[in-house]
Structures are given as structure tokens and as C-alpha cells.
Structure 1
Amino acid sequence: MSDVIFNWVPDRGSPLPLYRQLADYISGKIACGDWAVGDRLPAQRVLAQRLGLNRSTVVQAMEELASFGVLEADYGGGTRVGSNTWSLRMAGGGMDWGRYLHAGPFPANTPTIQTIFRLEFQPGYYRLGSGEPSPQLFPREAIGEALSRAAARAPALGYLPPAGLPELREAVAHRLERRGIRLPPSCVLITSGAIQALQLISASMLKSGSTVFAESPTYLKSLQIFPSAGARLQGLAMDREGLRPGALRAALTPCAARSGLLYTIPTFQNPTGTTMPQSRREELFQLCLERRLPVIEDDAYGELWLDAPPPAPIKALDRTGGILYLGTVSKTLSPGLRLGWLVGPESVVQRLADVKSQTDCGTSSLSQWAFLELLESGAYDAHLAALRAALRARRDAAAALLTRRFASLADYFLPSGGFYIWLRPRPEAATERLFQRALERGLLLHPGTLYGFGRTSALRLSYAYESPERFSRGLGLLADLLEGN
């Protein structure tokens, strides 16, 4: 069951009444299988506002369809698709995809996530929580030159080896030596972003019923990927120094240690921005080593330090192959390149490369050649230096505004790197209501409930996407909202 998407515009020049146009649109979407039985429609008030119609017009269309059993009231309010029999008959028949859409193991996104993903691509909203770098920070000239050199250098853009372009695997392995990770290129797997690495691990290395331990809150996507493989997620308490090893120790039963693993983001954590100090990294690593608990270390933000370089990755402590280390260019260059890497034992790399070859036949050849050019030319390091300076200025501007407007409205944590500010309104606000009220003001927020294992009033703010001017205006609107103005 999911929320439907309206891509309909009323034709005010048509002789057909507007309520009839709306009813025909809805029945047509159901008839062709775009909307399935159980899918939810927006509230009538919201729908009328979105379509520019009188609410009575929407009510008339809904009541007519409800009289045929096509729509019915949803428990707790709203309307959902109740049947497709009438609409299918009116349309001359069609396939009932509703029986198939939710039969697979991968869960649907929550309505809030679906709304965010839809509205991010519509103009007019202040994207205060988006987890990607601003288009203003994209190194167009460097990318253009790298693509040009890659086109001249690549023999063709055909399939590459399943584990990735050999020259790029070597370059990544060489680069990781700076972070204290010393492994041969055979231990590097090039992936279509770090998220694909999580998918490969879930699909081929997790038993159904396994326990995946993770910080609470944690990265949005990991909350869906692991359960799709039949794994059970267990959140672990954090503080301002990241995951607390004592929380993991208390949760580790013998069974969980044998079949589970730990997923952690120790550096500039998403969504809280916290960074684990070296002493805690050593304690956590020693605990996992003693309990033989595999670790996935997600280091998507590790090179985006703003004040001083962070401690070395936990993987730098690993001499027994117990940690799978993930990296990506989605946060440093662009998520559209779909390029990342996994570092681990050769046996794991070979297994995941085999699974990868069966699912996508390889990561983009063009992206791999272009990134290799950026690394070898030094353009990537030059870009990182400029990106850090830009993000530092954005964070500091956000900090000044938070001090000025939010001192009495919220508690917040300012990171020393990465993208995110973790903000908790004071007093606590109902997240769902705040999200909807913010939408009415053109604010697209990321509620903390998207990242955790329970209810929270926190918000994830990102100073990385919007321009400093738009981010400042958006924060001002958020302050007005929290003040009740």
C-alpha cells in the first residue's frame, strides 16, 4: 500500500464538468493498473488545494466513485482505492497489478519518504534536508576535462571486469593508504554507489533472521535494505561521540554474534553529524573482534572534514579482514555518477563481484574512467579542498543563524564535517504535523523518524544542498513555524 501520485491538470475549457474530469482520471488510473487496491489518496482538502479546485468539486467526484465501491474511507481518515472492478469494466478490462505489487520482500517507502522524493523534483520548495551536494558545488570544468580525457583514453565503453576497472581499483587502493588502509587492489570492488554494496551484502551474505545492529538513528536506506533480506534491525544508543560500545555489548547475545553484523557510520554520521573519537573506535573494534562480529563501516563523508581531519577509519585497525569498508563519490562529486567501492577480503570481493555481474553487468564504464582521470590528475584533491571551504562557510553561516533565531526554540548539534545538523525542537513537536505544516510554507523537511527506530521530534538539516541565501530564508521560515507565527 502506498500513496498515489496525481499528474492531472483540470481542463477548464472542456464542456465536461470538473468533478467528472477528476472522477474519470481516478478511475482511469485504477483501470490501467497505475493505482492498486489499497493505495491511499491525499486528503480532500490537500487535493483541492493541490489541483486548484473547490473542495466541493473533489467531494462530489470522491462520493460518486465511493458509491460504486471504487474508493472507500481509510481507517483513521483519508481515502483509499477499494476496488478496481467497476473501473476495469468501464475501461474495457485490464490487468490487476495490485495482486503483485506488494508480493515481494522489499518494503515500500513510508508516505513521508515518498512525498519527499516526489517534491524534491518540483520547483519552489526549500530543500532543507537533502543529502546531496548543491549543483553550485559541482566541478563542471574538472568533470568536463576528465570526461574528455576518458573518452580519448578508454578503448571502448564496453563491459568492464565485474570487480571494476583494474586501474581504478589500483588508484582507490593507493588513495586509501593515506587513511591507513593498506590492502592490494584485489581487495577493492567498484560498485554503483555505496548503496549497491549494501544491497549485494544483503542479497548474498545475510541469512534470514540475522540481526543487523546499527546506530539509532542511522542512514535512511539501510533501514529498508536489510529487512528486505529477512534481517532484523536492532538500534543501538548513541551520544555525541557516536555509537556507545556498551550498548552493543549489552545487545550481543551468542546467537546474534554468530549470524549478525554491525553497520556503523563513525565519521560525520548521517543523520546526526557525530564523529567517533579514536579511543572509542579502538574499543568498538576490539569488542567486535572478540565476539567475531563482522562490521560494515560506511565512510561516505570521511573526506569532508571542515575543521580538522577526523580519526582514521576503523578499517585501518583491521588486520583480520573483519570489516567491510564502503566509500562513495555521491557526497563529494555527484550522486548521479553512481560510483562507490567496497574494501574487504578477496573472498568477499570475489563473491560480491559474481553477484554483481548477475544484477547489473558492471558499474558505468564512463564514470569509472572519468573518476580515474580525476584521481590521477590531482583534480579530485583540488575539488575536495574547494568543497571543504564552501561547506565550512555554509556551516558557519547556518550556525550564526541558529544562534540568532533558534536559541530558545531548539537544541542542535553542529558537526565538524559532513552535511548535517541534528536539530531537536523545544518543546517537542509532533513530527508528522510539523512536516505537513512546513509543506504549506514551501519547506521540505527530513523528520528524524525517517532515520530511527522509534518516535522523535528531531529534524535532519543539511547546509550542503540549498544556496546559503535560500538555506537562510528556509531556516527563517522554520523558526517562524516553531514560534507559531
Structure 2
Amino acid sequence: MTRPEPHTIGKLREAYTQIIEEYGAKSFFYPGAGGLDQLIHQLKKWCATLDIGGGEIIVTSGAQHAITQLCAALLSAQDAYIHENPTFVETMNSFLFYSPQGEPVAVDDQGIQTSILESRLKTRKSPPKLLYTVPTAHNPSGVTMSEERRKHLVELAQKYGFTIIEDDPYRPISKPTRTLYSMSPENVVYVGSLSKALAPGLRIGFVITTSHALAEKLRDLEQMDFSTSTVNQLVTAKILESDLIQSKLGDLREHYASKMRLMLESLRENGLKPIYQPQDGFFCLVNTNTYAEELLLKAVKLGVAFVPASEFYFDNTGHTNIRLSIGPVDKSLIPEGVNRLVKALNQNEQA
């Protein structure tokens, strides 16, 4: 997760004041389905800045809400889908709610292993309905899918007729890459978020699709929960219009990249290395060679925490792996955090 920087908090405070003064009670009305026109207009500009690609935009209450709505719109209980292994467990909960037919495909330093995927597709009686991927700054591995893998994945979607859900919340804070959506918009549905670039508590996500039928279905589904807060949509539109975050993207990317470099350096100095080589984002996975749940108990007592990574794996592995994050942590604390992790490991080995 992230936390807004002090200058961002000040701008948010100003934006809320301006919106309430401008719209009055209307800023607290129920939102319409699919998002307010003011925000959609600004999101189109935002997407152009990030070279995402055009299409119909549906505003959601964060990326997780977008994924849940897409699962509701596209999945039935008998439908099979492909996902990366490891992958983000919270998203998988949405998939599993609508269909238990998930099939994991391993990730390496270049992203999902499309050669393995292709072999699977060749032997299937019918193609999967969907493929879910976090291609940029993958959670939990930190890897970014290579250009070659992106091309191959899109080619497979075109050949076998499945739809890719491209979950891309880390794009604003990562080095520029081509989106899968821009490569083949008819085969990809794009999910974006402002949580990492602005503030997670605003709960602003969005879907981009060239399918009008899917866009209409998502709007219909949003009538069930009224989607995102009206005032938060208006505030986000105001912030985007001000160019606040667009002008800071370079600084934001370097801010997180420098924190990641420091964590990787601290790990190396202590004889640890990530399982995968993180490219961008917040996360990396480390194999501790000890049961992660037990290690966590010792680590917490020393004032450091991590996420045991087995829940990110869907093949009953990863029990000794841990996910580390640089997201909300002050940069100056990272070396000490790694030192305390190593101390917990040493205590665990001596026990």
C-alpha cells in the first residue's frame, strides 16, 4: 500500500473545499453508474499520458472492485481461466467466488511463462475464458513482463480466443512499457487505478474496454452498489485537472525505484537475494528456507513484519517464501528492517 505525501494531502484538502463550495449538496448525491463525466474526461487525458490506449471508461471503487465486476460480467461457474503463479491472492478471491476453475502458470523474471501457457493451450479441448495478469511490477514477485512475452501472450489470446484482464495498478510508478491493451484492445480488458499515484483511500479505479456490450453490463452491475463516492470522483477529477500527479510522475517513479534499490542492496549485504528480480513497484519475494509463519512470530517481536507468501501460490508451494514491501516504509528505515529480519532468521535457526 501507499500513503499520500504531505504536499498531496494539502492539495486534497484544497480540492475537497473547492468541490463542496462549487457543487454544494450535489457533491454528496448518489453517483450515476459508470462514473461521473467530469472524472471520465480527466481519466481519458490521464490514460493518454500513460500511453494506455483508448476505449470506453467505467469508473470503479478501486481496481479490486473492477476485477470483481469483470468476474461477475464474464465468468460462470464452469468457465476456466488462467492466472500467474504466484499471483495476488485478493484478486483470486474474486475469481474463485464466480468459478473454481483456475489454472496457474508459473512466473519467472520475464513474467508469465508463455511457452508453458502455449503448451497447455495446445492440449486443451477448449480455450479458457479469461487470463488474468499483472504484467507491470507484478504483485507479489515485482517482475515486469518483457516485451517479447507481451507480444507472445497477445498472439496466444488472438489465436485461441480468450480475453486477457490486464491489471495494471503500478503503471504510474513504473518505467514505461507497452500495455497489452494497446497491443490488442479487442482481446484485452484494461484495469487501472489511482491508488498508487494519488491515494488508496479515494478508491478510484477504472476499466477500459472496446466492447460496448461489456461496458454496458458493467454499468448495469454498478447499479447494485452505486460504485464510487460522488465527492471522491469530483475531487479526483479536480486533482487530475490540476496536473498535480502528472507533473510528479518522474519523481514518484524514482522515489520508489530508489527504495527498491536500497532494499535489494540491504538484502545482498546480508546474504539474501530475491527469488525473482524486481523491476519496479513495491514488492519482492525472498526464500528464507524456514517456515514463514513461524518466522513471522519472531520478526514481529523484533519490530519488523512481512507477508508469508504461500497464500500467493496456487500449487501448494511457497511455504518458506516471504513478500517484502517498500510501499509505506520510510526509506531510512529499510536497512534496519532488513537487519531485524536477518536477526529473526538467526533466532529461528538457533531455536
Tell me the TM-score normalized by structure 2.
0.91
Q: State the Cα deviation string for residues 374-402 of structure 1 (Å, max 9, x = none).
A: 11111121343332232233223223322
With over 3 angstroms needed to count, the CA separation of the structure-2 counterparts of 1:227 and 1:133, relative to structure 1, is same
2:47 corresponds to: 176
Matched-pair contact (CA < 8 Å) for 1:328–1:340: yes
Equivalent residues of 1:162, 1:354 under 8 A apart: yes
Correspondence 1:151 to 2:20: yes
Question: In the TM superposition, what are the counterparts of 1:184-263 in structure 2 within 5 Å?
Answer: 184=55, 187-252=56-121, 253-257=123-127, 260-263=129-132
- 1: distance between equivalents of 2:155 and 2:148? 11
> Is the contact between residue 75 and residue 98 of structure 2 (CA under 8 Å) also seen in structure 1?
yes
Partner of 1:439: 300
Which whole-Å CA distance do the structure 2 matches of 1:135 and 1:475 have between them? 24
User: Which residue number in structure 2 is paired with residue 483 of structure 1?
Assistant: 346
What residue is the counterpart of 1:455 in the other structure? Answer: 317
Does the residue aligned with 2:82 lie in a helix, a strand or coil? strand
Q: 1:241, CA displacement in angstroms? A: 0.3
Deviations for 1:76-117, whole angstroms, at most 9, x for unmatched residues? xxxxxxxxxxxxxxxxxxxxxxxxxxxxxxxxxxxxxxxxxx
| 1:470 partnered with 2:333 | yes
Identity of aligned residues (%): 25
Deviations 1:231-289 (A, max 9, x none): 322110111000011121122254551x5210001111111111112121111101111
Partner SS, residue 443 of structure 1 = coil
Alignment size in residue pairs: 342
Give the Cα separation in 2 of the matches to 1:153 and 1:291: 51
| Aligned residue identity for 1:339 | I
User: Paired residue for 1:340, among 205, 212, 224?
Assistant: 205
Deviation at 1:414, TM superposition (A): 4.6
The aligned residue for residue 80 of structure 1 is none
SS of the aligned residue for 1:221 comes to helix
Task: Report the Cα offset of residue 412 of structure 1.
Answer: 4.6
Change over 3 Å in CA distance of 1:242–1:343 after alignment to 2: same
Task: Tell me by how many angstroms 1:138 deviates.
Answer: 7.1
Structure 1 residues 36-51: aligned runs within 5 Å: none
Contact 1:179 1:312 in 2 (8 A): no
Q: Does 1:398 align with 2:259?
A: no
Q: Could you tell me how far 1:133 is from its partner in structure 2?
A: 1.2
- Report the 3-state secondary structure (helix = DSSP H, G, I; strand = E; otherwise coil) of the residue aligned with 1:444: coil
C-alpha distance after superposition, 1:305-352 (max 9, x if no partner): 2xxx33211100124x22110001122222211110001122111101
1:371 aligns with 2:236: yes
Change (3 A) 1:182 1:136: closer
Rounded Cα–Cα distance in structure 1 between residues aligned with 2:219 and 2:22: 25
Partner SS, residue 136 of structure 2: coil
Once residues 327 and 212 of structure 2 are traced to their aligned partners in structure 1, the CA distance between those partners, rounded to angstroms, is: 36
Distance in 1, matches of 2:2 and 2:135, equals: 20
Matches of 1:389 and 1:411 in 2, distance apart? 20
**In the alignment, residue 459 of structure 1 is paired with which amino acid?**
I
Q: CA–CA distance in 2 between the matches of 1:467 and 1:179? A: 27
8 Å contact from structure 1 (residues 168, 372) kept in 2: yes
Structure 2 alignment gaps of length 5 or more: none
Q: Distance in 1 between matches of 2:262 and 2:274?
A: 17
In the alignment, what sits opposite 2:31?
Answer: 160
CA contact (8 A) 1:236 1:244 kept: yes
Q: Give the Cα–Cα distance (whole angstroms) in 2 for the partners of residues 481 and 412 of structure 1.
A: 19
Superposition deviation, residue 470 in structure 1: 3.2
1:292 and 1:243 mapped to 2: Cα distance?
Answer: 18
Superposed CA deviations along residues 166-223 of structure 1, whole A, max 9, x for unmatched, are: 1211221232223444424xx1000000101111122232110222211100112122
- TM-superposed CA distance for 1:371, in Å, is 1.0
Structure 1 residue ranges without an equivalent (≥5):
1-131
Letter in 1 for 2:92: L
Deviation of the 1:403 alpha carbon: 2.4
Contact 2:3 2:200 in 1 (8 A): no
Cα contact 2:4–2:198 (8 A) shared by 1? no
Select which of 237, 242, 246 maps to 1:381: 246
CA RMSD of aligned residues (A): 2.0
Alpha carbons of structure 1 residues 150 and 385: separation in structure 2 relative to 1, 3 Å: farther
Quick one: distance in 1 between partners of 2:227 and 2:274? 45
